[in-house]
């Protein structure tokens, strides 16, 4: 069947997917759209932008018509220069810069999510399953089979699927790929989850913390670095530890990018398997960064446990690479390896071990980001300034919703958060 239409995807500054449908052309041209209607793009008085499909990113959505092909896109200003806040293009440029030095970055992400039903304006769980539970306690197996089939159709290699720790929480893990392809896959993973959830009468939510006193949803990021097809983490201990050291040094500033919502910080509290202390260890899930056991030395990687699935993956991977390679270039020391449960250490014990704490809320994360020149430079001035403004506005909106009593709601999820994040995250 001849291809008749092209569906062209892009994301806003928050990583929320948008798309245009246009007649398919073998030699596509720039297509105009209104940048003022997209978060973080243009002002209304100078709103015109152009989009161009990346022909190397083609895929077919299994629920779409057979004569429709989909692409991710690059964004341009009216002078035909790359749009300075196009996070996918910024990641591509960073990868090209390091590719010229022989580096390749492989990424994977474990995206957790809740399946919910709406009942008279309230969101309810759909099962009471436990970690790796079985039917009928896992009430979403039919959904997961459909979800996995669609992901495989798109080009994912599925590794495993299981019920997560919290009631009605799930995960489908997929194999790593290069940074850009994995970032694309995260966008498609969330779209596909939401499509299949809707088909089964559910809502798939990637909101970091849906319910009080229940585990939140993470998006643990796995990273390895290759040069000349050699895993540098496996062959060069100092390289790996410096890379970890860079992420740890910049982790407070990275918070704004990998934990970008007000709600993100209600996940990052002790007792719910989410990191809040800046530490590292091997196989230690209480640490911010751990080195998982490897089946063989060639597969050695690190797991960065801070991110949550509300992030923009292009922005997150760009910032993680920049932080890690800053550690490598400046030989940043990683600090003491922790083999204890960091959650159970006293404040004095953490201080003695040089362990500090992540930002406690979005405002603290904004301030840490503003103070970190390395991470801001990796994003560029235009994007950094827009991100700060958008997030300050978001924080102020939240403060207004709780009458300025932020500390009273430090661990309580509000209706304002659910209205803002539950459906769209």
At 275-306, the pLDDT tens digits run 999 999 998 998 999 999 888 878 899 999 99
Q: Which class in CATH covers the domain with range 5-81?
A: alpha beta
Give the per-residue pLDDT at 2. Answer: 84
| Residue ranges per structural domain of the chain | 5-81, 93-422
Are domains 5-81 and 93-422 of this chain identical in fold?
no
Sign of the Cα pseudo-torsion (321, 323, 288, 259, in order): negative
Q: Could you tell me which residues come within 8 angstroms of residue 87 by beta carbon, excluding any fewer than 6 positions away? A: 11, 13, 15, 312, 314, 315, 318, 383
Is 53:29 a contact under the CB 8 Å cutoff?
no
Is 15:187 a contact under the CB 8 Å cutoff?
yes
Pick the CATH number of 93-422 from 3.40.50.800, 3.30.590.10, 3.30.70.3270, 3.40.50.720: 3.30.590.10
Is 73:51 a contact under the CB 8 Å cutoff?
yes
Look at the block and give the residue holding tokens 């050695």. 300
| CB burial string 291-322: b at 16+ within 10 A, e below | bbeeeeeeebbbbbbbbbbbbbbbbbbbbbbb
Give the per-residue pLDDT at 116. Answer: 97
Give the per-residue pLDDT at 149. Answer: 98
Q: Which residues of the chain have pLDDT under 50?
A: none
Q: Up-side HSE of residue 348: CA atoms within 13 Å toward CB?
A: 0
pTM above 0.75, yes or no: yes
Q: Could you tell me which residues come within 8 angstroms of residue 3 by beta carbon, excluding any fewer than 6 positions away? A: 24, 67, 68, 69
pLDDT in tens, 79-128: 999 999 999 999 999 999 999 999 999 999 999 999 999 998 899 999 99
Phi first, then psi, for residue 97 (nearest 5°) are -60, -45
Give the per-residue pLDDT at 273. Answer: 75
Give the per-residue pLDDT at 270. Answer: 78
Round to whole Å and give the CA distance between 144 and 319: 31
Give the per-residue pLDDT at 297. Answer: 78
| Ramachandran category for residue 130: left, alpha or beta (phi over 0 → left; psi -120 to 50 → alpha) | beta
């Amino acid at each position: 069947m001849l291809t008749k239409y092209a569906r062209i995807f892009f994301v806003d500054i928050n990583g929320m997917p948008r798309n245009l449908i246009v007649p398919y052309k073998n030699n596509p041209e720039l297509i105009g759209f209104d940048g003022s209607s997209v978060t973080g793009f243009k002002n209304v008085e100078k709103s015109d932008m152009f989009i161009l499909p990346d022909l190397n990113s083609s895929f077919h959505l299994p629920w779409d018509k057979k004569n429709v092909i989909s692409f991710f896109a690059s964004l341009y200003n009216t002078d035909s220069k790359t749009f300075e806040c196009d996070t996918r293009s910024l990641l591509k440029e960073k990868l090209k810069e390091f590719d010229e030095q022989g580096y390749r970055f492989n990424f994977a992400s474990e995206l957790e999510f809740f399946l919910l039903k709406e009942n008279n304006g309230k969101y309810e769980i759909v099962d009471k399953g436990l970690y790796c539970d079985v039917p009928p306690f896992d009430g979403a197996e039919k959904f997961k089979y459909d979800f996995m089939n669609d992901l495989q159709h798109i080009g994912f290699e599925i590794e495993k699927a299981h019920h997560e720790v919290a009631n009605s929480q799930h995960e489908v893990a997929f194999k790593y790929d290069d940074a850009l392809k994995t970032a694309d896959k995260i966008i498609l993973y969330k779209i596909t989850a939401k499509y299949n959830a809707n088909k089964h009468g559910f809502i798939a939510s990637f909101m970091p913390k849906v319910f009080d006193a229940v585990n939140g949803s993470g998006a643990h990021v796995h990273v390895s670095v290759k040069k000349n097809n050699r895993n540098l983490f496996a062959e060069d201990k100092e390289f790996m530890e410096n890379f970890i050291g860079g992420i740890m040094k910049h982790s407070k500033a990275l918070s704004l990018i990998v934990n970008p919502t007000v709600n993100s910080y209600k996940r990052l509290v002790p007792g719910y398997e989410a990191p809040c202390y800046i530490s590292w260890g091997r196989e230690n899930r209480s640490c911010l960064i751990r080195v998982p056991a490897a089946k063989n030395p060639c597969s050695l990687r690190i797991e960065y446990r801070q991110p949550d699935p509300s992030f923009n993956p292009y922005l997150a991977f760009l910032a993680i690479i920049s932080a890690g390679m800053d550690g490598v270039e400046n030989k940043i020391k990683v600090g003491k390896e922790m083999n204890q449960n960091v959650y159970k250490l006293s404040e004095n014990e953490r201080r003695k071990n040089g362990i500090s704490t992540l930002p406690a809320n979005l405002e603290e994360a904004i301030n840490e980001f503003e103070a970190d020149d390395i991470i801001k430079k990796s994003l560029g001035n235009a994007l950094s300034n827009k991100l700060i403004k958008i997030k300050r506005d978001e924080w102020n909106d939240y403060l207004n919703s709780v009458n300025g009593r932020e500390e009273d709601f430090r661990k309580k999820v509000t209706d304002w958060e659910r209205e803002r994040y539950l459906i769209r995250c």
